[in-house]
Amino acid sequence: MNNTPKERTEQEGLVRFLRLHRGQYFIHSIENSLHIPYPTDCSAAIKREINRINAALTLIRIAMGQINGMPDLFVPSLNLYIEMKRIKGGVVSAVQKECHEGLRSQGAKVYVAYGFLNALREIERLEKENET
Protein backbone atom coordinates (compact mmCIF):
# COMPACT_ATOMS: atom_id res chain seq x y z
CA MET A 1 0.00 0.00 0.00
CA ASN A 2 1.26 3.50 -0.89
CA ASN A 3 1.46 5.74 2.20
CA THR A 4 2.51 8.81 0.22
CA PRO A 5 -0.08 11.56 0.81
CA LYS A 6 -2.25 12.42 -2.18
CA GLU A 7 -1.56 15.60 -4.14
CA ARG A 8 -4.85 17.04 -2.92
CA THR A 9 -3.86 16.45 0.72
CA GLU A 10 -0.54 18.25 0.18
CA GLN A 11 -2.29 21.17 -1.55
CA GLU A 12 -4.93 21.50 1.16
CA GLY A 13 -2.18 21.46 3.80
CA LEU A 14 -0.29 24.29 2.08
CA VAL A 15 -3.37 26.47 1.75
CA ARG A 16 -4.44 25.80 5.33
CA PHE A 17 -0.93 26.57 6.67
CA LEU A 18 -0.60 29.84 4.75
CA ARG A 19 -4.02 31.08 5.80
CA LEU A 20 -3.48 30.10 9.42
CA HIS A 21 0.07 31.40 9.82
CA ARG A 22 0.09 34.27 7.35
CA GLY A 23 -3.35 35.71 7.96
CA GLN A 24 -5.50 36.26 4.91
CA TYR A 25 -2.73 35.10 2.58
CA PHE A 26 -3.81 35.39 -1.03
CA ILE A 27 -3.39 32.00 -2.62
CA HIS A 28 -5.87 30.96 -5.26
CA SER A 29 -6.78 27.47 -6.40
CA ILE A 30 -7.06 26.92 -10.13
CA GLU A 31 -9.16 23.79 -9.97
CA ASN A 32 -9.47 22.17 -13.35
CA SER A 33 -9.88 18.55 -12.42
CA LEU A 34 -12.99 18.41 -10.26
CA HIS A 35 -15.26 15.60 -11.25
CA ILE A 36 -18.09 13.55 -9.87
CA PRO A 37 -16.63 10.32 -8.42
CA TYR A 38 -18.24 6.94 -8.83
CA PRO A 39 -20.29 5.76 -5.86
CA THR A 40 -19.08 2.53 -4.26
CA ASP A 41 -20.31 -0.56 -6.13
CA CYS A 42 -22.24 1.33 -8.80
CA SER A 43 -23.45 -0.27 -12.01
CA ALA A 44 -21.92 0.16 -15.45
CA ALA A 45 -24.96 2.26 -16.45
CA ILE A 46 -24.38 4.67 -13.57
CA LYS A 47 -20.68 4.90 -14.45
CA ARG A 48 -21.58 5.76 -18.07
CA GLU A 49 -23.95 8.50 -16.88
CA ILE A 50 -21.33 9.94 -14.51
CA ASN A 51 -18.79 9.90 -17.35
CA ARG A 52 -21.27 11.76 -19.57
CA ILE A 53 -21.86 14.41 -16.89
CA ASN A 54 -18.12 14.79 -16.20
CA ALA A 55 -17.43 15.24 -19.93
CA ALA A 56 -20.15 17.92 -20.13
CA LEU A 57 -18.70 19.72 -17.10
CA THR A 58 -15.24 19.68 -18.69
CA LEU A 59 -16.62 21.27 -21.88
CA ILE A 60 -18.33 23.97 -19.81
CA ARG A 61 -15.11 24.71 -17.89
CA ILE A 62 -13.11 24.93 -21.14
CA ALA A 63 -15.71 27.27 -22.67
CA MET A 64 -15.45 29.45 -19.54
CA GLY A 65 -11.66 29.73 -19.87
CA GLN A 66 -10.14 26.64 -18.30
CA ILE A 67 -6.72 25.90 -19.77
CA ASN A 68 -5.53 22.31 -19.76
CA GLY A 69 -2.30 21.88 -17.85
CA MET A 70 -2.74 25.01 -15.74
CA PRO A 71 -0.94 24.78 -12.38
CA ASP A 72 -2.97 24.10 -9.25
CA LEU A 73 -2.34 27.30 -7.30
CA PHE A 74 -1.57 30.96 -7.91
CA VAL A 75 0.10 33.36 -5.46
CA PRO A 76 -0.54 36.86 -6.91
CA SER A 77 1.91 38.74 -4.69
CA LEU A 78 4.75 36.59 -6.01
CA ASN A 79 3.44 36.15 -9.58
CA LEU A 80 3.90 32.46 -8.79
CA TYR A 81 2.03 29.46 -10.14
CA ILE A 82 2.50 26.24 -8.19
CA GLU A 83 1.99 22.82 -9.71
CA MET A 84 1.47 20.47 -6.77
CA LYS A 85 2.64 16.88 -7.04
CA ARG A 86 2.85 13.97 -4.63
CA ILE A 87 6.14 13.78 -2.75
CA LYS A 88 6.86 10.44 -4.40
CA GLY A 89 5.60 9.44 -7.81
CA GLY A 90 4.27 12.82 -8.95
CA VAL A 91 4.75 13.33 -12.69
CA VAL A 92 4.37 16.50 -14.78
CA SER A 93 2.47 15.68 -17.97
CA ALA A 94 3.41 16.96 -21.43
CA VAL A 95 0.32 19.20 -21.44
CA GLN A 96 1.35 20.68 -18.08
CA LYS A 97 4.92 21.29 -19.27
CA GLU A 98 3.59 23.11 -22.34
CA CYS A 99 1.29 25.27 -20.22
CA HIS A 100 4.09 26.05 -17.75
CA GLU A 101 6.38 27.18 -20.57
CA GLY A 102 3.60 29.41 -21.93
CA LEU A 103 3.18 31.04 -18.52
CA ARG A 104 6.94 31.53 -18.14
CA SER A 105 7.13 33.12 -21.60
CA GLN A 106 4.69 35.74 -20.30
CA GLY A 107 6.80 36.52 -17.25
CA ALA A 108 5.16 34.30 -14.65
CA LYS A 109 7.08 32.09 -12.26
CA VAL A 110 6.06 28.44 -12.30
CA TYR A 111 7.25 25.99 -9.67
CA VAL A 112 6.58 22.27 -9.51
CA ALA A 113 6.34 21.40 -5.82
CA TYR A 114 6.69 17.83 -4.60
CA GLY A 115 4.63 18.13 -1.44
CA PHE A 116 3.58 20.83 1.00
CA LEU A 117 7.02 21.53 2.48
CA ASN A 118 8.65 21.84 -0.92
CA ALA A 119 6.03 24.41 -1.98
CA LEU A 120 6.35 26.33 1.29
CA ARG A 121 10.15 26.55 0.94
CA GLU A 122 9.80 28.03 -2.56
CA ILE A 123 7.25 30.60 -1.36
CA GLU A 124 9.54 31.59 1.50
CA ARG A 125 12.53 31.82 -0.86
CA LEU A 126 10.64 34.14 -3.22
CA GLU A 127 9.35 36.26 -0.32
CA LYS A 128 12.94 36.81 0.89
CA GLU A 129 14.07 37.52 -2.66
CA ASN A 130 11.36 40.19 -2.96
CA GLU A 131 12.43 41.82 0.34
CA THR A 132 15.84 42.70 -1.06
pLDDT tens for 37-50 read 888 888 999 999 99
Give this prediction's pTM: 0.80
Rounded mean pLDDT of 28-43?
A: 79
Q: What is the pLDDT of residue 78?
A: 92
Each domain of the chain, given as residue ranges in start order, spans 1-32+68-132, 33-66
Residue 3 has pLDDT above 80, yes or no: no
Q: Which of the given ranges, 6-10, 33-37, 61-65, 122-126, has the highest pLDDT on average?
A: 122-126
**3-class secondary structure for the chain?**
CCCCCCHHHHHHHHHHHHHHHCCCCCCEECCCCCCCCCCCCCCHHHHHHHHHHHHHHHHHHHHCCCCCCCCCEEEHHHCEEEEEECCCCCCCCHHHHHHHHHHHHCCCEEEEEECHHHHHHHHHHHHHHHHC
pLDDT in tens, 58-92: 888 888 888 888 999 999 989 999 999 999 989 99
Rounded mean pLDDT of 26-45?
A: 81
Q: Write the CB contacts of 89 (distance below 8 Å, at least 6 apart in sequence).
A: 2, 4
**Dist CA 76 CA 89 (whole Å):** 28
pLDDT in tens, 86-117: 999 899 999 999 999 999 999 999 999 999 99
Give Cα 99 distance to the centre of its chain. 13
What is the CATH number assigned to the segment(s) 1-32+68-132? 3.40.1350.10
